[in-house]
Amino acid sequence: METLWDKNIQRPEFKSLQTDIKTDVLIIGGGIAGILTAYFLQEKGVPYVLVEKERICSGTTGGTTAKLTFQHGLIYSRLLREKGAEKAGLYLRANRMAFEKYAALCRDIDCDFQFRDNYVYSRSDRRKLEAEMDALSRIGLKARFTENVPLPFEIAGAVCFPEQAQFHPLKFLYSIAKDLNIYEHTFVREMIGTTAVTDHGKIHADKVIVTTHFPFINKHGSYFVKLYQHRSYVLALANAQEVGGMYVDECRKGLSFRNYGDLLLLGGGAHRTGKNGGGWNELREFAALHYPGAEERYFWAAQDCMSIDGVPYIGRYSENSPEMYTASGFNKWGMTGAMLSAMLLSDMVCGVRNDHAELFSPSRNFLKPQLLVNGFEAAKNLLTPSEKRCPHLGCALKWNPAEHSWDCACHGSRFSESGEVLDNPANGDLKK
């Protein structure tokens, strides 16, 4: 399953770790959050090492639709209602800062960066959009409301953020990564304090940053109840439609649209990992109905970690692990979430105060309704008989016929038909 981003691109290569080493900061995970964190630490002159168990950008980062925006669905009305105007404004400023950092970096990198208006639309609920417009006005952001968008169905309206952006994620990241201190094919099997044990050596670090998509160390942070995972699907279609901007449904199970070159990227078919969902079939049926002359060039899937309250977890891994940090739960907005994480975490490990730390703290109150849903799913799957069990915490695995994988509805681990781990938090293959 090759993504559009893999086409005709030269991937940098890095050696694997073969001996014991020591460093100030160890970064575990070579996706976008880890690479950007390493980049900022290198800028600050901080000794660091980044390790990746396979190749950099081989996980969720490579499956993104690569939209750069601080418009994250209709989150501002929710934040205003649940956390108040001050924190809603902090969230806006933090993600706008991340967006502006991309714009600055991309001026010197050939990565197809283009400004595009971003739209969050609703097919049936205008009141949600009006509430979002009101929330944005109250926190000082001027957005635009429209009922006219070039999509092949009627909408109740859309909230537009002008001059957001899109880019080629791997062109950007490979340019960033090429001069960084990275070890590929270096699998962290175990953590003993801040010492990482790999197959061929130990890494002794003063501080550790875990950017492995789903934090894999179970004894700290309770991420197995604070996170769940969601899969979504993409088709890249030729001869479909030029939509001009970037569009996403406010409904989590809706569709997204954006162009890259002469291709339309159609996203959707989403579902909780381990559950049934529309997948590529839903997208293909939509394309056949609305773009009958289109030709499918690429298809792929992505998996996203979802937090309980819609805000990422960025900061100390837990209150009991002061020298460990993490970033996760980007809620399908991983591009700005990763940049924000890198800026915040590189400040934190250097002892620099950041005004956004409290809002994103993984130790914040997580007594939210989604916690009950996560707990119910875990209990149900722990008690469900199954041919195969997830090695993470023992939940039942469900066969995914569309992707030929064994998927865990508890925490989102996935395994190939022959048992190799595809997505964490499981940190190893299925037992034969």
pTM exceeds 0.85:
yes
Q: Which amino acid is at 217?
A: I
Does an H or E element contain 228, and which? Answer: strand 227-238
How far is it, in rounded angstroms, from Cα 264 to Cα 239? 8
Lowest average pLDDT, out of 260-269, 314-323, 392-401, goes to 392-401
How far is it, in rounded angstroms, from Cα 287 to Cα 302? 19
Beta carbons within 8 Å of 149's beta carbon, 6+ residues apart: 119, 121, 155, 158, 243, 245, 247
Domains in the chain: ranges and CATH: 4-64+170-224+310-360 (3.50.50.60), 369-423 (2.102.10.10)
Span 397-425, mean pLDDT? 89
Beta carbons within 8 Å of 305's beta carbon, 6+ residues apart: 213, 214, 227, 228, 229, 328, 329, 330, 331, 412
- Strand-strand pairing, 195-197 and 202-210: antiparallel
**Residue 113: its pLDDT value, please?**
98
Pick the residue with more confidence: 408 or 32? 32
Span 89-117, mean pLDDT? 98
The answer, yes or no, to whether residue 386 has pLDDT greater than 80, is: no
pLDDT digits (tens, 9 = 90+) for 267-326: 999 999 988 889 999 999 999 999 999 999 999 999 999 999 999 999 999 998 999 999
The answer, yes or no, to whether residue 380 has pLDDT greater than 90, is: no
Span 128-150, mean pLDDT? 97
What sign for the dihedral angle of Cα 261, 266, 272, 278? Answer: negative
Q: Which amino acid is at 125?
A: D
Looking at residue 429, the DSSP 8-state letter turns out to be P
Q: Do 281 and 269 form a contact (C-beta atoms < 8 A)?
A: yes
